[in-house]
Structure 1
């Protein structure tokens, strides 16, 4: 520790506590998030399971057997714990220590990162979105909730929780408290990079796309009287916004089935047609491109479809392309009738 008296005065007197030994994604992320707050930004960390050492600490996560926001105690292992995120309809997955910290500090962290007041509506929107996209999966994995009730068709070991798990010392390596603490620091930093990376994406790319999607949805009846075709004049993240905004739209003869957009910003850019899935995470489409087009390219596809300038149609029937906007719009209208 520095002997500089000025450094001592500037150093935080706050201390975060969590358990020692083998670590998991939830407390690694919880500690990182706490250090993004005004109150705990410079806090020290104590890793122990000794109740006497935990008792005087300013905040404790994932250990201690107590959930009490008033006392800054955020454990979820105790019998009778039932806390869920709640807001936004997220009421099926019990929270881990990451979810608990995010529930109580998330808006502050987001607002602080973006330089916005916590009351800003976009802070609340991002708070719900980041829970759905990142935190909920950490909560579910830590609490042993299966991804599916049916057969799991393939293994996924690239999720954040799996990556943190691999940072623990191997069973056949020498270990000590110092080794575990050093590895925990590495794990907390890794989860933090993922957290901030996702927050920055949703704040700086995903959120601005909402206005683009809203404008395109409002003009869809000008594209085709069915209301089934939406045109974006620039590529942007659209699926989440479409599913969120669609229920607010006036009735139309057809649900939205196809999205048209240019491949790039250049005037000569080719255009694509993409099917709207049944849900944001589904590989099933509301209406796929015609079966006869699938896996066919270029002049052969133009002959089959009866449309000039066709480039391709994916074998799965979820996306296709044409040299021009007029061509891809014609493909959409023919696909509607198929």
Structure 2
């Protein structure tokens, strides 16, 4: 049972962090708590109140602070900051164990490194820029919660993207199974072995790099159909590319050179072509 999560989700839950200048570390920590409980009260101050019973982070030298000499370091050598310490306990509850580890590596650790070492990080800089200027009369706390609001939107979008990719992986496996069954039964012509027709767009490039699928076709949200070449595994090169004479053309020009009446557009970079009909 996750006692930290229970504490955060209590009806009158509260948390305390330091006042003054804020960084991506305490901002994203606060955003994480508000993601889990939008009603939690977060207070800032120079010193943790005596006998405080709420959650304390990034101050106080407790479990979710990292300013003490014996603060924790990951096995890979990356030091924890408050965000990483909280994510370690709460991330699996949001994304599951495997995705939480991936999120830690790609998103949390760079922010933890920035907070501990000052190593440049563009997201940390953007969050830090919410701090009032040196001669500003505006409220530091108000600026903090503005930054937390932005960080919260970033977290929500990142979480949905991670979970969406996981759903996509499962859907791609279903489609590949159906494709294999269609080939085995003879319902799909043999010449279409390397072409996968998707019922809807599904992020699948990484998974398909491991297969012999060279092109995917799927309905376009602008009408008609999109065609995408697939890259070779561990390579930036396509398994099969559109002819160079097609690249950058559209409309009648593209129809003439391809022989496809409904050909509409072929990107000059060669990563997308559209047609009006599936045929």
Structure 2 length-normalised TM: 0.73
Q: How far did 1:180 drift?
A: 1.5
Aligned match of 1:238: 204
**Is 1:195 aligned to residue 144 of structure 2?**
no
The alpha-carbon distance between structure 1 residues 299 and 44, as it changes in their structure 2 partners (threshold 3 A), is: closer
Contact 1:297/1:311, CA 8 A, preserved across alignment: yes
Deviations along 1:77-132, whole A, 9 cap, x unmatched? 45565633x7xxxx475443212211111233x2xxxxxxxxxxx73355345446
- State how 1:244-259 maps to structure 2 within 5 Å: 254=212, 256-259=213-216
Number of the residue aligned with 1:123: 96
Whether the 8 Å contact between 1:298 and 1:310 is mirrored in structure 2 is yes
Displacement after TM superposition at 1:202 (Å):
4.4
Please give the secondary structure, in 2, of the residue aligned with 1:261.
Answer: strand
5 Å-filtered alignment, 1:129-278, equals: 130-131=103-104, 134-143=107-116, 144-145=118-119, 159=123, 161-174=124-137, 179-200=139-160, 202-203=162-163, 205-220=164-179, 222=183, 228-239=194-205, 242=207, 254=212, 256-264=213-221, 269-277=223-231
Q: Is the 8 A contact 1:220 1:229 kept in 2?
A: no
SS at match of 1:315: coil
Pair 1:47–1:303, CA change in 2 (3 A):
same
- Quickly say closer, same or farther: Cα 1:55–1:305, change in 2 above 3 A: farther
How do 1:52-67 and structure 2 match up within 5 A? 53=49, 58-64=54-60, 66=61
CA RMSD of aligned residues (A): 3.8
Q: Counterpart in 1 of 2:263? A: 310
Q: State the distance in 1 between where 2:77 and 2:113 align.
A: 9
Q: Distance between the aligned counterparts of 1:133 and 1:227, measured in 2?
A: 36
Q: Which residue does 1:119 correspond to in 2?
A: none
Q: Do the aligned residues in 2 keep the contact of 1:59 with 1:73 (CA within 8 Å)?
A: no
Partner of residue 286, structure 1: 238
- C-alpha deviation, 1:11, in angstroms: 7.0
Task: Give the CA deviation at 1:315.
Answer: 0.7
TM-score between both structures, scaled by the size of structure 1 = 0.62
SS in 1 for 2:96: helix
Can you give the 5+ residue segments of structure 1 that lack an aligned partner in the other structure?
A: 1-9, 67-71, 111-121, 148-156, 327-338
Task: Give the SS at the match of 2:200.
Answer: coil
Q: CA deviation at 1:167?
A: 1.3
State the 1:195 CA deviation.
1.6
Unmatched 5+ stretches in structure 2: 1-9
Shift in CA distance, 217/77, structure 1 to aligned 2, threshold 3 Å: farther
The C-alpha deviation readout for 1:195-240, integer Å capped at 9, x for no partner, is 234334544x544433331222234553666854332111233346
Deviations 1:235-287 (A, max 9, x none): 233346x27xx66xxxx5x3x4322111149xxx411111335689x9x4434
Aligned-residue offset at 1:311: 1.5
Gap change, CA 1:44 and 1:261, over 3 Å in 2? closer
How many positions carry a matched residue from both structures?
261
Q: What is the aligned partner in structure 2 of residue 83 from structure 1? A: 73
Judging changes above 3 Å, is the alpha-carbon distance between structure 1 residues 19 and 278 closer, same or farther for their aligned structure 2 residues? Answer: farther
- Equivalent pair of 1:54/1:60 in contact (CA under 8 Å): no
Match of 2:45 in 1: 47
Q: Determine if contact 2:17/2:57 at 8 Å carries over to the other structure.
A: yes
Structure 2 partner of 1:6: none
